[in-house]
Amino acid sequence: MSLLQRVVLVDAALVFLAVALLVVSPATVSRSTTTAEVAILLLGATALLTLTTVMTRRALAPLRLLAELMGRADPASGTHAPVPGAGPGTAREVADLAAAFDAMLTRLEDERRRATRLAIDAQEAERARLARELHDEVAQLLTAMTLQLQGAERLDGPALEARVTALREAAHGGSDAVREIMRGLRPEALEDFGLRAALVALASGVTERTGVPVRRALAAQLPPLTPEVELVVYRVAQEALANVVRHADAATVDLVLAVDPGRLVLEVRDDGRGVGDAPAGSGRQGMRERALLVGGRLAVGRGPQGVGTTVRLEVPR
């Protein structure tokens, strides 16, 4: 029996009970209502209202119990006890609501586990990248400097000066390598000069390292943005450009930052091979989760005329 049917049945039963009492009782109401008659009517109405409240509360008791269980549920715990569903005397709506809530908790827990797994994978991948860069750039450079220093004590004159000059250049190269790694971890331009300048430096760096031209169309004036929003926009642009370099085989890339009414829009468009039907990897999922952190929305799809890929980020402002 549905919840509506229960409530209607309770009300109908009470109304019929009241009518039956009026039929079988000797009580009457005269043309000029007396005080005793008014008192009897008020007493009857109060009794009817009390019975209606008690019966309706009993009919809604399963719903109240379900609300209490919902309030105690903790998706962050990773597991949850099954929400009681259909049982003897349980209204159909309550059973359906319990089943839907139980399914929602299961989806939330699965999503939380997936997000945690992706975060750990991304963290480990970043550590592996840093280890490779430190080994390939800094460690090898320090090894070469050590080998040069081992024989320097036996040199003098021009040979010593040449060795010192080589060591000085190697030290500068190591400093530049460390600075490049630091820029990858935390963009200095973003902290020092703001989002627009950081995107200019990012696009220029991609072109210098890969030879892929990145055309910029960045709004001249940006509204005040929180550091969190600036970092999300920068990281999404960084990841989108990295994906272009790694996967797209593109000839040109467009980096667009526009200010629309009520929102900030970032687009990275390329003329490469496109995303096709490939499933979203950790990079795309990471961009999407970054967007959610600032209330934004990320869309990845085919570019104009179905050529290439467009990554579009919209952030409310």
In this predicted structure, what is the pLDDT of residue 101?
A: 81
Helix (H, G, I), strand (E, B) or coil at 182: helix
In this predicted structure, what is the pLDDT of residue 269?
A: 93
d(CA 59, CA 212): 69
Q: Residues near 292 by Cβ (< 8 Å), separated by ≥ 6?
A: none
In this predicted structure, what is the pLDDT of residue 3?
A: 61
pLDDT (average), residues 203-216: 91
Residue type, 4: L
In this predicted structure, what is the pLDDT of residue 276?
A: 58
The pTM (predicted TM-score) of the whole model is 0.56
In this predicted structure, what is the pLDDT of residue 147?
A: 78
Start-to-end C-alpha separation, the chain: 49
Dihedral of CA 266/271/276/282: which sign? negative
- Is the pLDDT score of 76 beyond 70? no
- Is the pLDDT score of 71 beyond 90? no
H/E segment holding residue 265: strand 263-270
Which among 76-80, 117-121, 144-148, 250-254 has the top mean pLDDT?
250-254
Q: Under a CB-based contact definition with an 8 Å cutoff, are residues 294 and 315 in contact?
A: yes
Residue type, 45: A
pLDDT (average), residues 236-263: 90
What does each C-alpha distance from 107 to 96, 104, 213, 295 come to in angstroms? Answer: 17, 5, 43, 21
| Helices first, then strands: H and E counts in the chain | 9, 5
What does each C-alpha distance from 152 to 3, 146, 167, 175 come to in angstroms? Answer: 92, 10, 10, 22
- Is the pLDDT score of 315 beyond 90? yes
In this predicted structure, what is the pLDDT of residue 59?
A: 67
- Is the pLDDT score of 133 beyond 80? no
In this predicted structure, what is the pLDDT of residue 121?
A: 74
For 225-257, give the DSSP string.
--HHHHHHHHHHHHHHHHHIIIII--S-EEEEE
Which among 35-49, 85-99, 156-170 has the top mean pLDDT?
156-170
Per-position b or e across 244-273, b if 16+ CB within 10 A of its CB: bbebbebeebbbbbeeeeeebbbbbbbbbe
Q: How confident is the model at residue 8 (pLDDT cuts 50, 70, 90)?
A: confident
Q: How confident is the model at residue 237 (pLDDT cuts 50, 70, 90)?
A: very high
- Look at 175-179, 229-233, 294-298 and tell me which has the smallest mean pLDDT: 175-179
Burial zone of 218 (CB within 10 Å; 0-12 exposed, 13-18 middle, 19+ buried):
middle
Structure confidence by residue, pLDDT tens digits, 160-196? 788 788 888 888 888 877 777 776 666 777 888 899 9
**Lookup: tokens for 173:** 């190269």
**Lookup: tokens for 200:** 């200019």
In this predicted structure, what is the pLDDT of residue 290?
A: 87
Strand order in the sheet with 253-260: 214-218, 253-260, 263-270, 309-316, 297-302
Phi/psi of residue 249, each to 5°? 55, 45
In this predicted structure, what is the pLDDT of residue 257?
A: 96
Q: How many CB atoms lie within 10 A of CB 140?
A: 13
Q: Residues near 174 by Cβ (< 8 Å), separated by ≥ 6?
A: 137, 138, 141, 142, 145
pLDDT (average), residues 240-263: 90
- Look at 94-108, 220-234, 246-260 and tell me which has the smallest mean pLDDT: 94-108
In this predicted structure, what is the pLDDT of residue 209?
A: 86
